[in-house]
Amino acid sequence: MNFTTTKKSGSTVAVHTEVFDKNAKSIGTSDSEMSCDGETIKVDMKSFVPAASVKQFSNMQMQGDVKYLVYPLNLKAGQALPDGTADIIINNNGSHMGDINMEITNRKVEQQETLSLPAGSFDCYKITYATTIKVKMMGIGFPVHMQVTEWFSPKLGRMVKSETYTKNGKLAGTTQLESIN
């Protein structure tokens, strides 16, 4: 993923994300925002829409109220974190095509770790959670259930690595921070 941020206001940044596959081919982009109030970092739930969905809907317009997933700055092992939910409307040239409902639940801080990645070493918190994404297109819907492990760096205000697993425990995908420009 390539993140480009611009300051939107005193404590909020706009984030443009471009997602790449393992061959460095761009597979989609999205826009979201993050904010910090001194006690928590709030990440726009749109940034959690999977790359495959971003690619699938790349020629359509996605809209919805900004909903945030909250990361307290004072994380500690064993801590339960607030759940998050978001509803996104998909339009194509003004016509309603479908909806995405995303729920992130059972968030828990597992432990504190130092993670070494190509971009450097980061003090992180390993956080696990369940995700359910329900996509409904032209009246036909289907849910996708996943388990996610992410390593969140409070210093960067974002996750630096994630692993997504199917409901059967099979690794479905990973992301990691390669560089910081």
Instruction: Please give the Cα distance from 118 to 25 (Å, whole number).
Output: 19
Decide which of 52 and 13 is more confident. Answer: 13
Decide which of 35 and 57 is more confident. Answer: 35
Amino acid at 91: N
Confidence of residue 75 (pLDDT cuts 50, 70, 90): very high
**3-class SS of residue 54:** helix
Q: Give residues with Cβ within 8 angstroms of 74, minimum separation 6.
A: 39
| Per-domain residue ranges of the chain | 2-176
Question: Which of 23-37, 39-53, 65-79 shows the lowest mean pLDDT across its residues?
Answer: 39-53
Instruction: Please give the Cα distance from 163 to 173 (Å, whole number).
Output: 6
pLDDT at 22: 77
Q: Give residues with Cβ within 8 angstroms of 61, minimum separation 6.
A: 90, 91, 92
What's the longest Cα–Cα distance across the chain? 47
pLDDT at 1: 61
* pTM score: 0.81
Is the pLDDT at 126 greater than 80? The verdict is: yes
Give me the phi and psi of 94, to 5 degrees please.
Answer: 90, -10
Which CATH architecture is the domain 2-176 placed in?
A: Beta Barrel (2.40)
Q: Which two tokens stand for residue 160?
A: 């630096």
Is the pLDDT at 2 greater than 90? The verdict is: no
Tens of pLDDT, residues 80-116: 999 998 888 877 777 877 888 889 999 999 999 999 9
Instruction: Please give the Cα distance from 51 to 19 (Å, whole number).
Output: 6
